[in-house]
Amino acid sequence: MKMTRLSKSRSPLETRIDEPRLRELLIHLAAERGLAENSLHAYRRDIENLCDFLSKRNQSLSAADVTDYREYLHAQSRGGKSTRTVARRLAAIRVMLRYFSGDNGKSAGILLQLERPKPEQSLPKILSRAQVNQLIAAPKPGSKLYFRDVAILELLYASGLRASELCGLKLRDLNSSVGIVRVLGKGAKERIVPVGKVALAAIERYLMDCRPKLLRSNDEHLFLSRSGKPMERIGLWMLVEKYGRRSGILREVSPHTLRHCFATHLIGGGADLRVVQELLGHSDISTTQIYTHVDQDRLKAVHKQFHPRK
C-alpha cells in the first residue's frame, strides 16, 4: 500500500531510471499532446518496464533493435501477462518509436516490423431466458417501487437499451399506441426501438400507479428515483445488481447484461444481424458480430450435452 501511494504522489515526468530519452518522450506527451496525468503515469510505467528488461540484456533504448523488442513482448506473454497488457505495452512502445522515428531511420524500421498482438475477445455475460424471467420476477409485489422496477427490467430486456439511454428517456419518447421508444444513443444518434407488449404493460402500470407518487415537480423523465429526481446510471446499476443477487443468479448482473441478453436471444431466435445492429445502435456491425459467437458457444454446449456421440 505504501508503494502505491508513493507511486501516485510522484510526478509522471519523474522516472526511476536514468534514461534521458524516456523523460524527453514524457515531456513531449505532456506538453505537445496534452495527455492526462494518469495516461502519463501509464506510459512511464510501461517504458520503465521495458528499460528494466533491456538493462538485464545490457541494452538501452537507443541501442535496442527489433529483436530486443520482440523478445520483450514474448517475455511478457510467457510471464503470464494478459494479451490486453501486452497490447497496451506494445502501444506505448509504438508511441515512443513513432516519436523518435523523426531522429533516425532505425526507430522507423523497428516500428514497421513490430506486429500488434491479436487482442483477446471478451465475450459478454449472458443469462438464459429462464434466468431473465427469474431476474424480472425478483422485485417484491407490494413494495413502493415494485411497478417501477419491473418496468425498468422489462424495458431493458425488451429493447436492449444502454443504462444512460434508459435514464435519459422522457415521457414524450414513449409511444405506447405504436409500441416504440425513441432513444438518444452514443454520439447523439437517435434511433427508434420497438417495445414488446409485456414491457409496455409494465410501463403503463408504472405510469398509473407508481410514477405519480414519486413525482415532486414537472419532471419529464420517464423513470424517477425514490426522491422524485431522474433515475441516474449508478442508481440503475445498483437496482439491477440488487435483483440479480435476490434472484439467486450467481454472477454479476448489470443493465448491460440485459442488453447482451436482448441481442443474443434475438440472434438465437433467427433475427438478422443487420436488424440487431440497428436496434442496438451500433455504428459498426463488427461490434454486433460478437453475439453470433456467444450464440455459437451456446449451441456447442447444447450439442456437447445432448448429442449421443459427444
pLDDT tens digits, one per residue of 9-46: 567 777 777 777 788 888 888 887 777 888 888 888 89
Q: Which residue has the higher pLDDT, 4 or 89?
A: 89
Confirm whether 172 is domain-assigned: yes
Tell me: do 99 and 196 sit in the same domain. no
* The three three-digit cell numbers of residue 221, written as one number: 423523465
Cα–Cα distance measured from residue 304 to residue 310, given in angstroms and rounded to the nearest whole number: 5
Q: Highest mean pLDDT: which of 9-18, 225-234, 242-251, 295-304?
A: 225-234
Q: Which residue has the higher pLDDT, 310 or 44?
A: 44
Which of 81, 229, 256, 298 is an active site residue?
A: 256
What whole-number percentage of the chain has pLDDT above 70?
Answer: 87
| Mean pLDDT, residues 62-79 | 87
**Domain CATH for 256:** 1.10.443.10
Q: Which domain holds residue 234?
A: 129-306
Residue 27's alpha-carbon distances to 53, 126, 210, in angstroms, are 23, 44, 56
Which of 137-160 are b and which e, b meaning 16 or more Cβ less than 10 Å from the residue's Cβ?
A: ebbeeeeebbbbbbbbbbbbbbbb
Which of 43, 206, 243, 291 is an active site residue?
A: 291
Q: What is the pLDDT of residue 310?
A: 58
Tell me: do 96 and 177 sit in the same domain. no
Q: What is the pLDDT of residue 118?
A: 54
Confirm whether 156 is domain-assigned: yes
Report the domain count for the chain: 2
Active site residue 282: yes
Residue 5: pLDDT band (50, 70, 90) is: very low
Amino acid making up residue 88: R
pLDDT at 230 exceeding the cut of 90: yes
Q: Which residue has the higher pLDDT, 304 or 230?
A: 230
Cα–Cα distance measured from residue 186 to residue 114, given in angstroms and rounded to the nearest whole number: 34
Tell me: do 108 and 137 sit in the same domain. no
Confirm whether 191 is domain-assigned: yes
Q: What is the pLDDT of residue 105?
A: 66
Active site residue 256: yes
Which of 162, 211, 260, 265 is an active site residue?
A: 162
- 88, 113, 138: which is the final residue of a domain? 113
Active site residue 293: no
| Mean pLDDT, residues 133-145 | 95
Active site residue 221: no
Active site residue 44: no
Name the least confident of 64-68, 159-163, 290-294.
Answer: 290-294
Cα–Cα distance measured from residue 239 to residue 110, given in angstroms and rounded to the nearest whole number: 51
pLDDT at 121 exceeding the cut of 70: no
pLDDT at 155 exceeding the cut of 90: yes
Which of 186, 213, 245, 293 is an active site residue?
A: 186
Q: What is the pLDDT of residue 104?
A: 60
Cα–Cα distance measured from residue 191 to residue 275, given in angstroms and rounded to the nearest whole number: 12
Q: What is the pLDDT of residue 3?
A: 36
79-86 CB contacts, 8 Å cutoff, 24+ apart: 82/120, 83/117, 83/118, 83/119, 83/120, 84/119, 84/120, 86/117
Q: 190: helix, coil or strand?
A: strand
Tell me: do 134 and 15 sit in the same domain. no
Tell me: do 213 and 286 sit in the same domain. yes
H or E stretch at 36? none
Tell me: do 82 and 155 sit in the same domain. no
Q: Which residue has the higher pLDDT, 130 or 299?
A: 130
Mean pLDDT, the chain, rounded, equals 85
Active site residue 186: yes
Which of 21, 81, 282, 298 is an active site residue?
A: 282
Q: 145: helix, coil or strand?
A: coil
Residue 112: pLDDT band (50, 70, 90) is: confident
pLDDT in tens, 179-219: 999 999 887 889 999 999 999 999 999 999 999 999 998 89
Confirm whether 75 is domain-assigned: yes
Tell me: do 83 and 139 sit in the same domain. no
Which of 41, 259, 260, 265 is an active site residue?
A: 259
